[in-house]
Structure 1
Amino acid sequence: MFSSSRPTSRPWPTLPSPSRPPFKTHHPFILLLPKLSTSPSDPSPSSPSSSSSAAAAAGSVRRLVLTPEGRTKLNTLPDREFYSFPRFVTHVDDGFIAALTELYRERLRPGAHVLDLMSSWVSHLPPEVQCRYGRVVGHGLNAQELARNPRLDHFFVKDLNRDHHLQLHAQSFDAVLCAVSVQYLQSPEKVFAEVFRVLKPGGVFIVSFSNRLFYEKAISAWRDATDYSRVRLVMQYFQSVEGFTQPEVVKKLPVKADDDQTPLHGIMRLLGFSRSDPFYAVISYRNFKSTNEMQ
Structure 2
Amino acid sequence: MVNAQRAQAERMPDSLRRLDESPDEEFYAQPRFVTHIDDEAIAAVTRLYREYLPADGAILDLMSSWVSHLPPGVAYRRVAILGMNERELARNERATEYVVRNLNAFPTLPYGDCEFDGCGVCVSIDYLTRPVEVLREVGRVLKPNAPLVITFSNRCFPTKAVLAWHALDDAGHVELVKSFVRSSAMFEKPIGLDRTPHPRRSDPLYAVVALRRLPM
From 85, 93, 112, give the equivalent of 1:150: 93
Partner of 2:18: 73
Q: Post-superposition shift, 1:218?
A: 0.4
Q: Equivalent residue for 2:121?
A: 178
TM superposition shift of 1:75: 0.8
Which amino acid letter does the alignment assign opposite residue 104 of structure 1?
Y
Q: Which runs of 5+ in 1 are unaligned?
A: 1-66, 257-273, 289-295
Change (3 A) 1:168 1:97: same
SS at match of 2:147: strand
Residue equivalent to 2:72: 127
Quick check: 1:281 aligned with 2:213? no
TM-score, normalization by structure 1: 0.67
Q: Deviations over 1:102-152 (max 9, x none)?
A: 111111121110010000000000111xx2001000000000000000000
Greater C-alpha Rg: 1
Q: Amino acid of the residue matched to residue 155 of structure 2?
A: R
Conservation of the 8 A alpha-carbon contact between 2:120 and 2:149: yes
Q: Does residue 116 in structure 1 map to residue 116 in structure 2?
A: no
Q: Distance in 2 between matches of 1:242 and 1:122?
A: 30
CA apart distance, 1:167: 1.3
Task: Give me the TM-score of the superposition, normalised by structure 2.
Answer: 0.91
Contact 2:136–2:186 (CA under 8 A) maintained in structure 1:
no
Where does 1:89-108 land on structure 2 (aligned, <5 Å)? 89-108=34-53
Distance 1:71 1:238 in 2: 15
Q: What secondary structure does 1:240 align onto?
A: helix
Cα 1:206/1:255, change in 2 over 3 Å: closer
Q: How far is 1:87 from its partner?
A: 0.3
Match of 2:80 among 137, 142, 150: 137
Give, in angstroms, the shift of residue 254 of structure 1. Answer: 5.9
CA apart distance, 1:76: 1.3
| Displacement of 1:221 | 0.5
Amino acid paired to 2:66: W
Q: Distance in 1 between matches of 2:124 and 2:149?
A: 12
- Runs of 4 or more above 2 Å deviation: 252-256
Q: Percent identical across equivalent pairs?
A: 45
Question: Gaps spanning 5+ residues in structure 2: where?
Answer: 1-11
RMSD of aligned residue pairs (Cα, Å): 1.2
Shift of 1:223: 1.6
Pick from 235, 244, 252: which aligns with 2:187? 244
